[in-house]
């Protein structure tokens, strides 16, 4: 089966070196960060595709899907494979369609929309956009590695969401060109409200081959951390920044102790036993934010300019779902449960959770 499938695909792919069957390659490109979940870990570890195909054009994507349709072969679409729910794992084997070679940034329009292929890395887009006075409205903490196509098919939001909401909000995604998954695949355009038929659909109804993703004017950012004696103090301070439109911010995060103790590479910003707030603020407001933190009882432990994805330390590497990664490095038994809280009743919700679960849970809050 495997050889026959690869041979058939080599006929429709211009260069057969982009049809991969080496067992180690199949193993690597059949998995993502599914192992974050103690439930998925035993279920998905042994799943593997029969062949990986790396198309470089819409014509090749069409040809692969046509062949798959004809032979009823399952297709699993893959970007950078950083999804953490097993969305890239080929449950029924078949073809893994790896889009990382379709990675062109075609243009940034004068009104700030990036037009690109799906395999473009978000970090590359952020860097290129900032050169032209724009930046991403939001990105996952996997910025350096993750692809635009994978983020829009499997992600939800991230750094920037405190100002711009989630991917589904505010026309953040303008249009998709999609190759449909049906017996005779078609190339269709989804724009306006029809974007939502494809957004966050995990590649189950089609393959995005071209994306129109809205940007925002670039801002000079400062990354800042402040330590507080209690979680409640850190939460209230960060919330006051997050909800006040007068502050221009890109990130507003709170960690209760001992989560900050997991961040070993940045231990200089951590204070033992204290909660940590992590904020990206417009550099013009950094001084005022330091003063506000001090007034709220915080100690500013770090402040430095953000200069794009290569900034070191890049504090977003500790936020969103990277926090779980640091926790699992400290103790592999940690996992996470993503919860939404009421903006008006969250403190009562926290209290009820503590009452019920005690020390079994730790709070990490991202404001959206
Ligand atoms: C440490 C860590 C931190 C993370 N932080 C965040 C975060 O802050 N916010 C967030 O939203 N997510 C986060 N994630 C999840 C994930 O990294 C992001 O959603 C990321 O954007 C996925 O991009 P990717 O290229 O790796 O996609 P992949 O994992 O390759 O794919 C994700 C999904 O998209 C589908 N897909 C990929 N390309 C296409 C395409 N062209 N057409 C159709 N379907 C396609 C795949 O089939 C899969 O279902 C995190 C994950 C980890 C491991």
Q: Whose CA is nearest to atom 12 of ligand 1?
A: 155
pLDDT higher than threshold 90 for residue 170: no
> 246 Cβ partners below 8 Å, 6+ apart?
none
Q: Whose CA is nearest to atom 49 of ligand 1?
A: 202
How many other CB atoms are there within 10 angstroms of residue 127's CB atom?
15
Closest CA to 249 of 226, 219, 228: 219
The confidence band for 4, taking pLDDT boundaries of 50, 70 and 90, is confident
Phi, psi for 196 (deg, rounded to 5)? -70, -10
Q: Whose CA is nearest to atom 9 of ligand 1?
A: 140
Strand ranges for 102-164 from DSSP E: 105-108, 113-116, 134-136
Query: Do residues 113 and 173 make contact, with C-beta atoms less than 8 angstroms apart?
Result: no
State in Å: Cα 5 to ligand 1 middle.
27
How many other CB atoms are there within 10 angstroms of residue 189's CB atom?
11
Query: Do residues 315 and 278 make contact, with C-beta atoms less than 8 angstroms apart?
Result: yes
DSSP H or E segment with residue 239: helix 231-243
pLDDT, position 161: 98
Residues 182-206: pLDDT tens digits? Answer: 889 999 999 999 999 999 889 898 9
pLDDT, position 109: 98
- Between β-strands 275-282 and 249-255, what pairing exists: parallel, antiparallel or unpaired? antiparallel
State in Å: Cα 9 to ligand 1 middle.
26
Mean pLDDT of the chain: 96
Which atom belonging to ligand 1 lies closest to the Cα atom of 320?
Answer: 8
pLDDT, position 1: 63
pLDDT, position 275: 98
State in Å: Cα 142 to ligand 1 middle.
8
What value does the mean pLDDT take over residues 23-36?
Answer: 96
State in Å: Cα 292 to ligand 1 middle.
36
Query: Do residues 268 and 185 make contact, with C-beta atoms less than 8 angstroms apart?
Result: no
Query: pTM here?
Result: 0.96
The confidence band for 3, taking pLDDT boundaries of 50, 70 and 90, is confident
Q: Which residues line ligand 1 (CB under 6 A)?
A: 32-33, 77-84, 87-88, 99, 118, 140-142, 146-147, 149-151, 153-158, 202-203, 207-208, 320-322, 325
């Amino acid at each position: 089966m495997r050889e026959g499938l690869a041979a058939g695909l080599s006929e429709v792919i211009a260069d057969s070196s982009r049809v991969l069957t080496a067992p180690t390659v199949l193993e690597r490109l059949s998995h993502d960060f599914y192992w974050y979940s103690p439930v998925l870990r035993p279920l998905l570890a042994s799943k593997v595709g029969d062949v990986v195909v790396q198309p470089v054009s819409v014509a090749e994507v069409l040809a692969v899907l046509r062949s798959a349709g004809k032979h009823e072969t399952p297709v699993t679409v893959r970007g950078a494979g950083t999804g953490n729910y097993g969305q890239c794992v080929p449950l029924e084997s078949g073809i893994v369609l790896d889009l990382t070679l379709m990675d062109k940034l075609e243009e940034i329009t004068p009104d700030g929309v990036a037009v690109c292929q799906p395999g473009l890395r978000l970090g590359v887009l952020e860097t290129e956009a900032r050169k032209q006075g724009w930046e991403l409205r939001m990105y996952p903490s996997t910025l350096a590695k993750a692809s635009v196509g994978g983020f829009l098919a499997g992600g939800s939001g991230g750094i920037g969401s405190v100002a711009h909401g989630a991917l589904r909000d505010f026309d953040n995604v303008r249009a998709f060109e999609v190759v449909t998954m049906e017996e005779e695949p078609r190339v269709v355009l989804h724009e306006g409200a029809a974007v939502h038929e494809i957004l966050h659909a995990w590649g189950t109804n089609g393959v995005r081959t071209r994306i129109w993703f809205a940007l925002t004017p670039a801002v000079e950012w400062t990354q800042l951390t402040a330590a507080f004696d209690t979680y409640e103090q850190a939460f209230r301070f960060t919330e006051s920044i997050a909800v006040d439109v007068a502050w221009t911010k890109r990130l507003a995060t709170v960690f209760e102790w001992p989560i900050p103790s997991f961040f070993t590479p940045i231990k200089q910003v951590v204070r033992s036993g204290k909660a940590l707030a992590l904020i990206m603020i417009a550099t013009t407001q950094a001084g005022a934010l330091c003063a506000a933190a001090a007034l709220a009882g915080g100690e500013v432990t770090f402040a430095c300019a953000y200069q794009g994805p290569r900034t070191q330390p890049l504090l977003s590497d500790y936020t969103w779902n990277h926090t779980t990664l640091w926790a699992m490095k400290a103790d592999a038994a940690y996992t996470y449960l993503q919860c939404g809280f009421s903006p008006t009743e969250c403190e009562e919700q926290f209290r009820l959770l503590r009452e019920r679960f005690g020390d079994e849970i730790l709070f990490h809050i991202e404001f959206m």
